[in-house]
Structure 1
Amino acid sequence: MIFGRKKRSIVRLLVVEDEPLVAFDTEYLLTGEDYEIVATVDRVADAVAVIADGQDIHLVLADLALGDGSGIDVARAAQERGIPVMFVTGNCPGEAEAFAAGCLSKPYAPRDLLAAIVAIEAAREGRRLRRLPNGFRLFAAMSTPVEPAQIAG
């Protein structure tokens, strides 16, 4: 495609965030970039219910520290349905790699959130990544080669 955008494979997202302002900003940013938000929830129980409902979800963005539990529980439910998860958190634990496609550190710039979603999409499609966004870790199970000189930290 010379003048058009490539069709995205990740379009429908579930946002799991218990900080209202962060949730609102995330939803506003993503809808402005033509992503569809399936739901924005602030509790593990609500996220698990949305996932179990069988909706078409392409990616879950999940905070780890939620009021009623851990984002890891959300990731387990998503993993059972084959839905990739990106943790968006201030402190990404070591065990996150077993449950998620990647982890974006808070605070993050809006462009880094968008670039992290694109990086997960590229990795799922086996495309080579030129660089990773600031504060983002793409986990080995998902990753495709990244050109070493282009890794941003």
Structure 2
Amino acid sequence: MKFPSVFRTAAPMRFDIKPRYYDPVREEIEQRTSQIKRDLEAQGLLDKDELTSREIGSYGAGIRGSFAQHKGIKERDGVNMFASTAMIRTFIFLLLLGSIFGYVYLGPVIFEYMAYAVALVAAIYFFFRLKPKKKYE
């Protein structure tokens, strides 16, 4: 039920598209040529497989089959899990989130604790990175 109002509400907009360039003569010529082609194909004078370059288009042959050849996203072989950008972003996000919550609960001393933790993780990482690998493995 609609209540009476002083203000006029907007009515929904209607979609009305009008062609910009309509040429009735060209339309009639295209209809005639398509009818003549159908008649010639029905009589057997024109092959259906016979296409002109205008009907195919200048770029049609390059596009045909290109989606079928797509194999999907390739998996990376032998790439370190920590080298991916998603993992680095996750670590940075967790570091920022931990620093915010730590600052709220512990105060400014959390930054000192986090500095020690980062230094410890970096030391462990560089220790295993610089350690010579065994020749027999």
User: Do both proteins adopt the same fold according to a TM-score greater than 0.5, normalized to the shorter chain?
Assistant: no
Structure number having the greater helix percentage: 2
**TM-score, length-normalised on structure 1?**
0.18
Structure number having the greater strand percentage: 1
